[in-house]
Amino acid sequence: MSESQSFDLRDYAQSRDSIPKFHVFWRVTHGGSQSRRDSKTGELRAAASDLLIDNEERLKRAVANHIQWSCREKSPFLSVFSDEEHARRWAKYCDPPVYITQVITSRLPSDVYYFSAPTLCRRLHIIHEYGRNEVFILHRIPWQALGRMRDLDGNPKDSGTNSMIKLIGEANDTFAKYIAITEDSSIAYAIRNLAGDMEEHHQAQVRAMAEVIIDDTQEGREPDNEADSSTQNPFSKVYQLLRPPPRPRESIPLRIPVSLSDDDDEPLDNQSSLEAAQDEIAKNPGSQPMEQHEGVGKQTAAVASSPAEEPGIPDVGRLTLPEGSFV
């Protein structure tokens, strides 16, 4: 049997069970990157996305060339980081323009292989001094797993991308925020304290709660902050730890022209009108309500609109693509 026949690339790849079911990688794209983002499909592709690796020698050569900055040979790999802070520190040393894109691991299909850089390099006897938190993804990252491409300040920079792809990117970025909640070390510590005295099947339920929350978000459902919060529910504290805080809704004040008398044509804003009315009431504490008080010819109460409507999280699980949109 030849080496090619006995070689299986999956034996070198990172097991899906080796990372949390819901996790985020961070891809740094910079001025020297070989990769390209297909504007039609939204897929992020390595420079040598069609390179066949059918034996260990080819794998070793591809890895060695990939980690060598001075080598300009096209690589079949896309480097990502498993730690956001590391990705951002590294990005500061890259040639501009620099962008960061979040990658949702649970949305990477099974035919996309990724490799722990330190583990793979050790196995292939390659020295890689800066491989901590680095992951190699082979050939491509599908658009379904990608967030928006953003600069280091968080501004999106993929305005030319298909609108459906941008919509998925926004949903994935939101999804990543909820994933971060379940990975927060302080929350994990608090959950362990709460779950420490629970029976094993109850601890499993606590873990399941986290997955339900993430699944809700992945399917486009807004997490319900009121659910399971009754004091009778023994898991209410756990739920409150896992649930993200509700997003604030802002009231938008309406500026309406009001005046202090019928003869005064100069409009005042809401705040000035209220202050004037309050001064009048302070001078005459026994007076009638402000809209009937002498010298106040028009209503002076500030008016605020109802809370601004916010768009919900896109329903990623039910999005259907129009035929012919992607090739």
Whether 141 and 273 share a structural domain: no
The reported pLDDT for the residue numbered 204 is 61
The more confident residue out of 112 and 207 is 112
Whether 241 and 260 share a structural domain: no
The reported pLDDT for the residue numbered 271 is 47
The whole-angstrom separation of Cα 20 and Cα 35 is 27
Q: What is the percent of the chain with per-residue pLDDT over 90, rounded to a whole number?
A: 38
Whether 142 and 20 share a structural domain: yes
Determine, yes or no, domain membership for 176. Answer: no
Give the range among 44-58, 156-170, 191-205 with minimum mean pLDDT: 191-205
203: amino acid identity, one letter:
Q
The reported pLDDT for the residue numbered 170 is 84
Record the tokens describing residue 307, joined without a space. Answer: 């809370």
**What's the average model confidence in pLDDT over 141-156?**
93
**What's the average model confidence in pLDDT over 133-160?**
91
Determine, yes or no, domain membership for 51. Answer: yes
Answer yes or no: is pLDDT of 264 > 60. Answer: no
Domain limits for position 236: 184-248
pTM of the model: 0.58
Determine, yes or no, domain membership for 175. Answer: no
Whether 140 and 202 share a structural domain: no
Answer yes or no: is pLDDT of 122 > 80. Answer: yes
Element (H, E) at 136: strand 134-138
Determine, yes or no, domain membership for 320. Answer: no
Positive or negative torsion for Cα 239, 241, 243, 246: positive
Determine, yes or no, domain membership for 237. Answer: yes
Determine, yes or no, domain membership for 179. Answer: no
pLDDT digits (tens, 9 = 90+) for 304-317: 333 344 344 333 33
The more confident residue out of 301 and 284 is 284
Radius of gyration of the chain (CA): 28
Determine, yes or no, domain membership for 94. Answer: yes
Whether 48 and 188 share a structural domain: no
Whether 13 and 126 share a structural domain: yes
The more confident residue out of 250 and 317 is 250
**What's the average model confidence in pLDDT over 78-89?**
95
The more confident residue out of 211 and 305 is 211
**What's the average model confidence in pLDDT over 68-93?**
94
Whether 15 and 152 share a structural domain: yes
Answer yes or no: is pLDDT of 153 > 50. Answer: yes
Determine, yes or no, domain membership for 131. Answer: yes
Whether 64 and 119 share a structural domain: yes
CA angle 65–68–72, rounded 5-degree value: 65
Query: Which of 103, 128, 160 is the endpoint of a domain?
Result: 160
Whether 121 and 234 share a structural domain: no
Whether 228 and 89 share a structural domain: no
Give the range among 78-92, 172-186, 269-283 with minimum mean pLDDT: 269-283
The reported pLDDT for the residue numbered 148 is 92
Whether 38 and 114 share a structural domain: yes
The reported pLDDT for the residue numbered 320 is 35
Query: Which of 160, 194, 211 is the endpoint of a domain?
Result: 160
Answer yes or no: is pLDDT of 270 > 90. Answer: no
Contacts of 210 (CB under 8 A, 6+ apart): 182, 242
Give the range among 181-190, 241-250, 254-263 with minimum mean pLDDT: 254-263
Helix/strand/coil for 281: helix
Whether 32 and 124 share a structural domain: yes
Give the range among 33-42, 115-124, 149-158 with minimum mean pLDDT: 33-42
Query: Which of 248, 264, 292 is the endpoint of a domain?
Result: 248
**What's the average model confidence in pLDDT over 91-117?**
93
Answer yes or no: is pLDDT of 133 > 80. Answer: yes
Question: What's the whole-number average pLDDT of the chain?
Answer: 71
Number of structural domains the chain divides into:
3
The whole-angstrom separation of Cα 305 and Cα 319 is 32
The whole-angstrom separation of Cα 175 and Cα 143 is 15
